[in-house]
Amino acid sequence: MGVYPFKFASREFHPADSVIQVGSVRIGGGHRVFIAGPCSVESLEQIERIGRAVQGSAHILRGGAYKPRTSPYSFQGLAEEGLEMLQRAGRALGMPTVTEVVSTEDVDLVASYVDMLQIGARNMQNFALLRKVGAQSKPVLLKRGMAATVEELLLSAEYIMAEGNSQVVLCERGIRTFESYTRNTLDISAIPVIHKLSHLPVIVDPSHASGQWNLVEPLALAAMACGADGLMIEVHDEPDRAWSDGEQSLKPERYQELICSVRRLVNSMEEE
C-alpha cells in the first residue's frame, strides 16, 4: 500500500492528475471549474433566474434540495421537488448540476436527477453513504468535514474509490478553529498538501469557509493562487430573502466580477 494509508486516492498509485468529467465539463489536470448557485433550491423560477445569471461565468449549477441544517426547525430543503427544479434549470441552460445527498436511501433518486453528487462536510465520515455513492457511477464532490484532517478526507475518498467509483473531486470548505470572526477557517495549505498526496482535483468553497459575502472574493483569489482546481460559490439574487446562507451569498454581479478577477489572476500565473 506504500507509505500512505490510502491507495486508490494516492499519487503513488496514480502519478498523473486525474481529470473528472461532469457532463461535458472537465475538472483537474489544468481544467479549472467554477460551480455556482444558491445554497437552497427555493422554486423553479428562483433556480432558473439565478442559473441564467451565472451561466456565462459558471460551468456547473449548484442548488441544495436536501439541507443538513444545524437546527431541525430550519428549512430542510424541497427534496424531490427541488431535484426536479434543479434538473429542469440545468437542462434549460445547458449546465450540468450538482446537489447534496444526505442519506443512503436517497442516493439512487438524487443520482437520477443530477450530474454530480455532493457529500457535505457533516457526512464526510458517514461511511455507509460513502460506500453507497461509491457503488454508483455519477461523479462525487466530497467536502472536507469541519473537524477532519487531510488524511481523514483522503481516507473518505478511498471509501468511495474502493467501491469502484474513481470520479471524486475534493472540496476544502473551511475547518473549525478557535477563530470566531469567520464561520470557519479556510485551510489554504490543504490545497498543495492534497496535490502532493493525491491525484484527485481539489476545489475550494470560500462561501462556507467565511460565512460572509465580503470575504468570499479574497479567499477565492487565495485559493486559486494556491493551485485550487476550481471554486464553488453560493450566489443569490436576493440574499436578504434567501431561505439559507444569505449572509454568505454573492449577488450575481459580484460573482461575475469575482470570476473576472480570478481569470486575471490565473492568466498572470500562467504567463510566468
Our finding on whether 142 is near ligand PEP (CB under 6 A) is no
For 141, residues 6+ apart whose C-beta sits below 8 A from its C-beta are: 98, 116, 117, 118, 119, 169, 171, 203, 232
SS (H, E, C) 23-92: CCEEEECCECEEEEECCECCCHHHHHHHHHHHHHHCCEEECECCCCCCCCCCCCCCHHHHHHHHHHHHHH
Site string for ligand PEP, 157-186 (x = CB under 6 A): ----------------x-------------
How far, in Å, CA of 42 to CA of 64, rounded?
9
Our finding on whether 38 is near ligand PEP (CB under 6 A) is no
Stretch that binds ligand PEP, among 4-12, 76-84, 91-99, 114-122 (CB under 6 A): 114-122
How far, in Å, CA of 172 to CA of 264, rounded?
22
H or E element: which one contains 222?
helix 213-225
> From ligand PEP, Mn ion, none, which one binds at residue 32 (CB under 5 to 8 Å depending on kind)?
none
Our finding on whether 65 is near ligand PEP (CB under 6 A) is no
How far, in Å, CA of 150 to CA of 85, rounded?
34
Angle at 108 between CA 100 and CA 28, to 5 degrees: 50
- Residue carrying C-alpha cell 474509490: 161
* Residue among 172, 245, 250, 255 that touches Mn ion (CB under 5 A): 245
- # binding residues, ligand PEP (CB under 6 A): 10
Nearer to ligand PEP, 179 or 270 (CB): 179
Contact 213, 244 (CB under 8 A): no
> From Mn ion, ligand PEP, none, which one binds at residue 195 (CB under 5 to 8 Å depending on kind)?
none
> From Mn ion, ligand PEP, none, which one binds at residue 246 (CB under 5 to 8 Å depending on kind)?
none
Nearer to ligand PEP, 10 or 139 (CB): 139
CB of 51 to Mn ion, least distance (A): 16
Our finding on whether 206 is near ligand PEP (CB under 6 A) is no
CB of 124 to ligand PEP, least distance (A): 8
How far, in Å, CA of 7 to CA of 121, rounded?
22
Our finding on whether 64 is near ligand PEP (CB under 6 A) is yes
**Which stretches of the chain bind ligand PEP, using CB under 6 A?**
39, 64, 68, 120-122, 143, 173, 205, 208
**Which stretches of the chain bind Mn ion, using CB under 5 A?**
39, 245
